Each structure stands twice: as structure tokens, then as C-alpha cells.
Structure 1
Amino acid sequence: MNAQLASTAKAMVAGDKGLLAMDESHPTCGKRFAKLGISQTVEMRQAYREMIVTTPGLGECISGAILFDETIRQQTQDGRPFIAVLKAAGIIPGIKVDAGAKELAGHPGEKITEGLDGLRERLAEYVQLGARFAKWRGVITIGDGLPSRGCLQGNAHALARYAALCQEAGLVPIVEPEVLMDGAHTMEQCRAVTEKTLRTVFDQLAAQRVLLEGMILKPNMVLAGLACPEQESVDEVAAATVATLMRTVPAAVPGVAFLSGGQSSELASARLSAMNAHFKQRVPWALAFSFARAIQQPALEIWRGDAANVPAAQQALLHRAQCNRAARRGEYSDEMEEETNR
């Protein structure tokens, strides 16, 4: 079992590929559809996700796809299960298993992720459906006196419990402690909170006997808040992020697959590329991506629920995946964007 977990985890961050997160909950997906005037129905969600999984050439850039409970059970219009389509493209199927972040009792302004009840049984079903890895997200807010010790410890404990249950079931856990970009905090504040968060998470992972070789870390990049007037350069973000990870992430972890977390598609690619260009040879883990909006958004804006737009939307999706593949090699450049805009 341990060898299989380690092998899958390595495959998820192998070469110059990364992960595509397409695991939006119904409310999140609904909000993104509503902004573009797309009807919020199960049929439209199916059509959108079919467009994604059938994108020609996607497997050349994407090693794994994170699905939602609805999506892992869906089929294409011609009757092929999405799981089978992904596998045929060489993409490892995964599944989001948390039940979302809810208000943390006694901690105003902070959240705790729920979903541990019945998780062992749900994981067994997902294995039967063909999943080989899972994802759980904890959210940490920076604010006045935040995050609290209770919030950090509660979310870290839940992540570790989830990860142990995944490995028991034969699934590689993606451990996602996200320090949110919302707010006016500085990059230095984000660095301090991210460091404290990761130390707490790995302490809990050790307590729950999670096999580090059989997991993937999905952290935020170290960034100033979206409302902060001072925004550091791409190279400064890359350096701060890698320095923070070097202090906190054990070498046994095979890969760090960053979330995009509200960054623009171009900035997410540029920052990841800078990390690989400057630090790839100095770090013990792969520096990969696990992006959702930063890959999907341009395609969603082109598609807008119209079947006639599918080819153009798929081309936009593939372009973003190719940009992030280049970023894994440290070779992404602005010219890659200019070529598609001509």
C-alpha cells in the first residue's frame, strides 16, 4: 500500500505536468455561471465539465483532475463516464471530499472545514468509482488577531484526520491549507501566517501517522492581500514562497502543487515559473500547480453555455494548461500570451 501511494503521488507531480481542479461545489459553480448569464442547472454543469474533460491534448499538460461528487458520476453525451475519458487521456482522477468551510464556533470571522463524519465509507465508494487521490481544503483568514490558535489547530487536525483516512483507503491525500488572499495584509504578514500554518499542519500529520511520501501539499503562494497597496514583484513572491516552504515542508513530501486562490491566470503562471527558474535545483520537492480558475476562467468566459463556442473554449483551456506546463520548466513568458492574442 505505501509503495502504491508513493508511486501515485510521484505520478501526480511528474515531469512538467500539474493538476486541474474542477471540483467547484454547486454554489461556487452557480456564482461563476450567474456572472456570465449561464443557467445554473445540472445539464449545464455536465456540458461545461464535458467540454473540459474532452479537450484534445489536455493529458499532455495535466497529470490529474480533481472532480466533485456530481462530476465523478457523470458521463459524456455519448455515454462515456468522465472517469474513463480522463484515464484514456492519461489523467489520474481525484475527488474533493470535504463538506465545505463553516463558521467556527467561538471564533468570529474564522472557519472550520467539515466532512469527517462518514468519510471512511465515502472514500471506499470513491475508490470503487475509480478515484486515486482526494482533496480537502482548510481556509485560514488573516485579520486583526487572526488566525487564532483554535482555528489553526482545528483545521490542521481535520486535514490530518482526513489524510490518514485517505491513505487507509489507498488514496493519495492532497492536503490544502489555504491562507486566503482577501484583505489588506502585507506579504510579510502572509509569510508569517503561512509558516505558522504549515508548521501546525505537519505537526498534526505526524501525530496521525500520515505517510509523507504518499501525499501532496497544496498551499497558497506567499502574497500580499488583494487590497494591499504594495504588491511585490513576481521574483519577490517566488523567493518568499520558496523560503517559507524550505522552513516548513519536509523533504519526504514528493510535491507542492500550488493553488491559484484568486490570482489572475497570467500572474499565477509567472510566479510558478519564477520559482522553477530560480529554485528548482535547490528544493527537494516538485514545484507544480493545482489551479482551478487560473486554468478554467478564460475558457468559461468564451463558452458561456453555447455549444458552438466549445472548440474555442477548449483551445483557451489548453493554452492555459500549456502556459503552466511551461511554468513548471521555468520557461513561461509574456510572449506566450501575446501569441494567442494576435
Structure 2
Amino acid sequence: MNRSELETIARAMVAKGKGILAADESSGTIKKRFDNIKVESTQETRRSYRELLFTAPAAADYISGVILYDETIRQKTKDGTPFPQYLQGLGILPGIKVDMGAKALAGFPKETITEGLDGLRERLAEYHGLGARFAKWRAVIDIAEDIPTAFAIEANAHALARYAALCQEAGIVPIVEPEVLMDGGHTLERCEEVTNQVLAAVFAQLHSHRIHLEGTILKPNMVISGKKCPMRAAAQQVAEATIRCLRRHVPSAVPGIAFLSGGQSSPEATEHLNRMNVLGPHPWELTFSYGRALQEEALQAWGGKPENVEAGQKAFLRRAKFNGLARSGAYDAKQEQAAA
């Protein structure tokens, strides 16, 4: 493991004005997205859609890296260039999702543990050979009346740290993603309390596993009310609570924090990121690693039709540009209407 190489990659992932495109939807997830636009999910429609995103003109102005899925890292552009090679040619770093998904945690009803550590060392070596320079592992923490338990938090933090250690051994920068879900009816205060517990556990485990923090990126949830909360917190409260939480737990050695959007609408995710950067300067770069919040408008504009590729690319670039502006606190919600 060359620490300086890991640091160089991590810094490039959170370069000024840029963020990470999460295009690592599992086959099941992308089928749901395609069902919404009445497009059949086949290997070719998935490939075509990903190509639409990757070949959007000037994507590299706003996108520093792309998280790929196992199928996608092996696919090619129409002219036969492997996706990782194509992205590298643009100066965009290829990454790979390596976890095997959240499964029921035995003995702990309603809680999950992310699987995928078995054989990970060998898979990372293969992915590095295919061009991946960073990876992602997502832990899922749900909030309800009697959860999360301290054990579920600890178990997921431990798995994240073991994954991160294997990544760094393979010369791959780990994105550490502990996601506190926003699915319930909990308040912002409850989300902050749980996110505090989760980040404390994660960084304790990263320290115990001797993780080189300078070569690591954190991908957390924002501190936000649950979707079913009757009184959802305003954007400014979300920004302030999230920054408060991160300042308590995330060492300044971490080069960047790339937020997940976690079910927020596209404008909401952009607005929250913008307000956090307005509150800066911060000890780390604050950027985005969005999936749906970067892609939703592009998917709708494309609709699976070859003649709509350009419209899909325009919608994707528009959203990527807004998030690029939010990186420096320069986004204004009025731009949404102006550019519509």
C-alpha cells in the first residue's frame, strides 16, 4: 500500500467544484428506476443508459469519479472502449461498489448487517486490474422506536473498517458509507442523536483497524427528519445539525465528505449541500456522491428512447452543474426555474 498514492486519489475525488456520480445501482434497483419510465431492464438498456451519463459533454467539469456496479465495470461504450478506460481518458476516476447488500442481522429484528467481506481481497485485486481506483461499501442503519441497537451499529462499523483496510491494502481508496436512513417518522433531533452514535463507532473502528484516514472518503447521510415526520426541519436546520455532527466526529485528516442523497429530491439535496458550504470554511471538502438526485431528471428526459439521449444528457449536466455550484455555496434555488 502506497499511502501517498491513496492520498492523491482521495484528494482528486473531492476536487473543488466536483463530486461523485453514484451509478452503482444493483440490477434490482435499476429495474425499479426503469419500471418508473416503462423501460425494460436488460443488459443493453442498462449499458446504453450508463453510456448516456458517462459521455455527456463536459461531464468532467463537475464529476470527479463514478461508482460502478460489477456489471458496469465490465461493459464498454458503443465503439468498444471499456467504461473504466473511457472515464480515465476524461480525467474521471472509476470506482466500484463491493458490498453484497444489507441482510437481516440474526437475533436483531428489523436490523441489518452488510455482507461481502468473504473473498473481498481477491475481488479488489481483480477490480484494481479492471481500472477501479476507489470502492464503496454501504452500511444501513434504520431508526424506529427500539432501534438502532448499539450492537447493530458496532457490527456495521466493524465491517466498514475491515472493508476499508482491505481496500487500502489493494491500493484502492475506500468510500466509507454509514447511512442512517430517512425512511421513518423520526425528528431531526433523533437523526442527529443516531448519526452521532454511528460516526463515533465508525471512526473508533477505523482507528482500531489502522486505517489511513488521509486516503479515505466518508459518505454519510445528512442529519435530516424522517420522510414521515409531521414537521420536517427546514434546510438551514439540516445544514447546521449536519455540520455540528460532523465537526464532533470526523477528524480533519479525512480529505473529504461526499454526502449521499438518501431519498431527498434533487433540488433538496443540492440546497442542503449549498447551505453547508455557506457555513464554511470546514476542515474537509464537502461534496456530493449522489445517485438518484443526480440522475432522476436525466432518466425522465431520456425515457429509454435513443432520440432522447441528448435531452437526457442536458438534464444530467444541468443537475451536475447545480451541485458543482453548491460545492462552493454558489447555488441559488432561483437557478432551478431559470434553467428549466
Common fold by TM > 0.5:
yes
Q: Distance in 1 between matches of 2:180 and 2:70?
A: 25
Q: Distance in 1 between matches of 2:154 and 2:14?
A: 28
2:223 aligns to what SS in structure 1?
A: coil
Is it true that 1:247 corresponds to 2:248 in the alignment? yes
Equivalent residue for 1:105? Answer: 106
2:65 aligns to what SS in structure 1?
A: strand
Partner amino acid, structure 2, of 1:92: L
Deviation, 1:41, is 0.9
Deviation, 1:340, is 2.1
Q: Distance in 2 between matches of 1:73 and 1:65?
A: 14
Is it true that 1:151 corresponds to 2:152 in the alignment? yes
1:202-281 equivalences under 5 Å are 202-279=203-280, 281=281
Equivalent residue for 1:330? Answer: 329
TM-score (norm 2): 0.99
Q: Distance in 2 between matches of 1:200 and 1:303?
A: 42
Equivalent residue for 1:42? Answer: 43
1:192 aligns to what SS in structure 2?
A: helix
Instruction: Report runs of 4+ in structure 1 exceeding 6 Å deviation.
Output: none
**How far does the alpha carbon of each residue in 1:47-69 deviate from its partner, in whole angstroms, 9 at most, with x for none?**
11111111110000000100000
Gaps of 5+ in 2: none
1:5 aligns to what SS in structure 2?
A: helix
CA RMSD of aligned residues (A): 0.7
Q: Distance in 2 between matches of 1:218 and 1:231?
A: 23
Equivalent residue for 1:67? Answer: 68
Q: Distance in 2 between matches of 1:246 and 1:254?
A: 13
Q: Distance in 2 between matches of 1:232 and 1:24?
A: 29
Is it true that 1:301 corresponds to 2:286 in the alignment? no
**How far does the alpha carbon of each residue in 1:43-93 deviate from its partner, in whole angstroms, 9 at most, with x for none?**
110111111111110000000100000000000111111112211211011
Deviation, 1:171, is 0.3
Deviation, 1:27, is 0.4
**How far does the alpha carbon of each residue in 1:132-182 deviate from its partner, in whole angstroms, 9 at most, with x for none?**
000000000001111011210110000000000000000000000000000
Equivalent residue for 1:78? Answer: 79
1:137 aligns to what SS in structure 2?
A: strand
Partner amino acid, structure 1, of 2:287: A
1:99-138 equivalences under 5 Å are 99-138=100-139
Q: Distance in 1 between matches of 2:28 and 2:233?
A: 32
Equivalent residue for 1:197? Answer: 198
Q: Which moved more, 1:332-341 or 1:125-134?
A: 332-341
TM-score (norm 1): 0.98
Q: Distance in 2 between matches of 1:103 and 1:309?
A: 40
Q: Distance in 1 between matches of 2:48 and 2:9?
A: 29
Q: Distance in 2 between matches of 1:32 and 1:111?
A: 23
Equivalent residue for 1:312? Answer: 311
Equivalent residue for 2:142? Answer: 141
Deviation, 1:240, is 0.4
